[in-house]
């Protein structure tokens, strides 16, 4: 696939590198320096290049949205017409100082994003994972017991694209259902982040669900 990265920081930089190494064509965009984007493209060691958000969006099969909540409007404006493209969003709707979710309980960042982009399928994915684990999961992708990752959205073919990217990264995709399920995934992520970063230890937290019933 051709994948445009909108936001090439911790999440976009790492996931764009992983997508490149998994064989996709990647355009890194949206950082404060062009040199950083070029460096990411060189280091990705595959079919990757640096570009503007409009370059990333042009001909993209999927766009990874990976900017702070406060930068969403700006990067989408720079990307231009994204109608019909699959948007995979890992964005958490955080306040400026990253202390709380500004949308939760009755809506989610993913649903607000979808309202901004009528006609563009949005899938919420990757937001539940701390960027620190991504390369480790990718390196271990051929081992048994791959970790699961939830994703949700309305459009089935867009969800298949997201599931493929989740698989390529080394996770087993778990379909949560419609986009409104992001209302539960986003606060869950905040809980894990609070535990990891405010406990004073490193973010090596393990959590596990037992499967009940079948
Ligand atoms: N980090 C995580 O572990 C994690 C986990 C789950 C979800 N998320 C979510 O993923 C999203 C991205 O998080 P992140 O940690 O990857 O953030 P980040 O490292 O700050 O990346 C954001 C990108 O936006 C760029 N940017 C910011 N302001 C800009 C401006 N004015 N002009 C151009 N580029 C600008 C940054 O440029 P520079 O590279 O130059 O700084 C960076 O490349 C957030 O919504 C976050 O809630 C993050």
State the average pLDDT over residues 53-82: 97
- pLDDT band, very low/low/confident/very high, at 59 (cuts 50, 70, 90): very high
> What residues contact residue 66 under an 8 Å CB cut-off, 6+ apart?
5, 6, 7, 8, 9, 11, 12, 15, 90, 91, 126
Amino acid 104: pLDDT: 78
State the average pLDDT over residues 198-212: 62
User: How many helices (H) and strands (E) would you count in the chain?
Assistant: 8, 8
Q: CB of 127 closer than 6 A to ligand 1?
A: yes
Amino acid 206: pLDDT: 58
Q: CB of 77 closer than 6 A to ligand 1?
A: no
- Min mean pLDDT across 8-17, 102-111, 155-164, 177-186 is at 102-111
Token reading at 7 = 């936001």
Q: Distance between terminal CA atoms of the chain?
A: 35
Q: CB of 67 closer than 6 A to ligand 1?
A: yes
- pLDDT band, very low/low/confident/very high, at 99 (cuts 50, 70, 90): confident
Q: CB of 94 closer than 6 A to ligand 1?
A: yes
Q: How far is the CA of 144 from the centre of ligand 1 (A)?
A: 31
Q: CB of 9 closer than 6 A to ligand 1?
A: yes
- pLDDT band, very low/low/confident/very high, at 191 (cuts 50, 70, 90): confident
* Residue located nearest, by CA, to atom 32 of ligand 1: 32
Q: How far is the CA of 31 from the centre of ligand 1 (A)?
A: 8
Q: CB of 17 closer than 6 A to ligand 1?
A: no
What is the C-alpha radius of gyration for the chain, rounded to an integer number of angstroms?
A: 16
Q: CB of 32 closer than 6 A to ligand 1?
A: yes
Nearest ligand 1 atom to the CA of 92 is 47
* pLDDT tens digits for range 121-177: 999 999 999 898 899 999 999 998 898 999 999 999 999 999 999 999 999 999 999
Q: CB of 7 closer than 6 A to ligand 1?
A: yes
> What residues contact residue 169 under an 8 Å CB cut-off, 6+ apart?
15, 18, 19, 22, 126, 134, 137, 138, 141, 149
């Amino acid at each position: 696939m051709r994948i445009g990265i909108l936001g090439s920081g911790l999440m976009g930089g790492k996931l764009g590198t992983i997508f490149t190494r998994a064989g996709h064509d990647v355009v890194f965009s949206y950082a404060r320096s062009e040199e950083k984007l070029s460096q990411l493209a060189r280091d990705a060691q595959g079919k990757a290049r640096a570009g503007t958000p409009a370059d990333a969006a042009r001909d993209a099969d999927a766009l990874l949205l990976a900017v702070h909540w406060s930068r969403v409007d700006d990067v989408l404006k720079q990307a231009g017409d994204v109608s019909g493209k699959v948007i995979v969003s890992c964005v958490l709707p955080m306040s400026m100082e990253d202390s709380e979710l500004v949308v939760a309980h009755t809506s989610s960042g993913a649903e607000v994003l979808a309202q901004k982009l009528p006609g563009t399928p949005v899938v919420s994915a990757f937001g539940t994972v701390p960027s620190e684990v991504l390369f480790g999961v990718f390196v271990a992708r051929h081992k048994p017991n791959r970790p699961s990752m939830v994703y949700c959205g309305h459009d089935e073919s867009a969800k298949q694209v997201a599931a493929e990217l989740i698989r390529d990264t080394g996770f087993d995709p778990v379909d949560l259902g419609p986009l409104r399920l992001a209302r539960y995934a986003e606060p869950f992520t905040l809980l894990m982040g609070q535990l990891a970063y405010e406990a004073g230890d490193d973010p090596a937290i393990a959590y596990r669900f037992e499967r009940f019933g079948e």
